[in-house]
Amino acid sequence: MEHANMSAWILVPLMSFAILFMILTARKKQLFIRRIQGLSAIDEAIGRATEMGRPMLCCIGLGGLDVPTFQALAITSYIIKSSARFNTRAIVPVYDPQIYPVVEEAVRESYVAEGRPEQYNPDDVRFLSNRQFAFAAATAGIVYREKVAASFLFGVFYAEALIFAEVGQQVGAIQVAGTPSTTQIPFFIAACDYVIIGDEFYAASAYLSREPTLLGSMVGQDIAKGMLIALIVFGATLATFAPILGKSFGSLFLPK
């Protein structure tokens, strides 16, 4: 679809309205958010790295200037802020040169926000390569050499996902992963300690920060999902009964 069709015309504004409405509502009242085990494990992993006195790996995947990578960066910023309190080092490998200055700035500001600007080491935010497997090899090398104690894999991943996860497992790192790349989720589940699945990835920043705007947005997402489910059930029911409902009415809901 290059331009909006009728479905996009109706659904996108409706869902956007639900999300924005809940953002405004959340500023006035407290919203509930269920426990997401994988995200709660982030603090445990930081604690483990601190105890062992070894660095952490925060890999934001192979995405560029896109929404999933910004989300991954928001999670990474949270991790760095938390680890800065304990003086634990975080290494952030970067794949896409477009995102590199943004990552550098985000990491630096995370240290500044915690009042530890001196802990920021420019060499720990490293552009490695924008070739998929060269990046994988270089990141795996860092994991081996630095013997990272915790590995956070949040972002867009492809075939290299298992290389990161398995290498982390081999050095005994505690691993937390989350990705919007559905095909890589099984690999993370097989090799990581904690995995967040599907749209939990986009719930992460709300869950971690408990910021009302983000919590509202998350509840808005759930309402939008509810709309979609209702629409699917409605459409499937009508399509199922289309032959009974009559040719002219029923055919509207049958695939052409």
Partner 1 sequence: MPVKAVVGPNIGMILLGLVLSLVALGILMLVPQRFRRGIVRAATLIGGLYAALEFFLPTQPMPTPDDPKAIGNFLSPSVVPFGNYVNAVFGWTVGLGVINLCQVHGKRLMKGGAGSFNSVVFFLSMIMMTVIGILQKAHPNPLNKNLYDVLFVGGLVSLDATMFSIVAFYIVSAAYRAFRIRSVEATLLLATAIIVMLGQIAIGQLLTRWIPMTSAFHSLHIELIRSWILTIPNSAVTRAIAFGLGIGGLAVALRIWLGLERGSYFDA
Partner 2 sequence: MNILRLLQQVDRRVLYVMLLLAVTLPFFVKFRVPVAVSPPTQALYDAIDSLPENSFVLFGPNYSAGTRGENGAQSEALLRHLMIMWHKKKVRFGMLAFDPQGKTLAQTIALGLQEEYNKQGYNIKEGESWVNFGYRVDQQNFVRALVKDVPGTLLVDVHDRSVATLPVMQGVHTAKDVAMILDVNPTAAYTIYIQFMQGPFKIPMGLAPTAVMAPEAFNYLDSGQIVGMLQGLQGAVEYEQLLNTFGRATRASNSLGVAHLLLISFIIMGNIAMLLERSKQRKAGGAE
Q: Does 159 bind partner 2 (CB under 8 A)?
A: yes
Among 1, 35, 122, 123, binds partner 2 (CB under 8 A): 1
C-alpha 93, offset from chain centre: 16
Tell me which stretch binds partner 2 (CB under 8 A): 15-23, 76-84, 179-187, 197-205: 179-187
Tell me which stretch binds partner 1 (CB under 8 A): 17-25, 30-38, 236-244, 246-254: 17-25
Among 166, 238, 250, 253, binds partner 1 (CB under 8 A): 166
Phi-psi region of 198 (alpha: psi -120 to 50; beta: other; left: phi over 0): left
With CB under 5 to 8 Å by kind, the binding choice for 236 among partner 2, partner 1, none is: none
> How many C-beta atoms surround the C-beta of residue 39 within 10 A?
22
Contact 36, 148 (CB under 8 A): no
Q: Which is nearer to partner 2, 132 or 209 (CB)?
A: 132
In the complex, least distance from residue 73 CB atom to partner 2, rounded to whole angstroms: 21
Q: Does 211 bind partner 1 (CB under 8 A)?
A: yes
Distance CA 77, CA 216 (A): 21
Distance CA 240, CA 253 (A): 9
In the complex, least distance from residue 96 CB atom to partner 1, rounded to whole angstroms: 8
Q: Does 15 bind partner 1 (CB under 8 A)?
A: yes
Tell me which stretch binds partner 2 (CB under 8 A): 46-54, 73-81, 181-189, 202-210: 181-189
> Residues 137 to 156: which contact partner 1 by CB under 8 A?
137, 141, 145
In the complex, least distance from residue 102 CB atom to partner 2, rounded to whole angstroms: 19
Distances from the Cα of 170 to the Cα of 55, 123, 173, 175, 205, angstroms: 16, 25, 8, 11, 29
Amino acid at 225: K
With CB under 5 to 8 Å by kind, the binding choice for 139 among partner 1, partner 2, none is: none
Contacts 24+ apart (CB under 8 A), 128-137: 128/93, 128/94, 128/95, 129/95, 130/95, 130/96, 130/97, 132/62, 132/95, 132/158, 132/159, 132/160, 133/160, 135/62, 135/93, 135/95, 135/160, 136/160, 136/163, 136/164
Q: Mask 66-105, x = binds partner 1 (CB under 8 A)?
A: -xx-xx-xx-xxx---------------x--xx-xxx--x
C-alpha 191, offset from chain centre: 18
Among 31, 52, 128, 245, binds partner 1 (CB under 8 A): 128
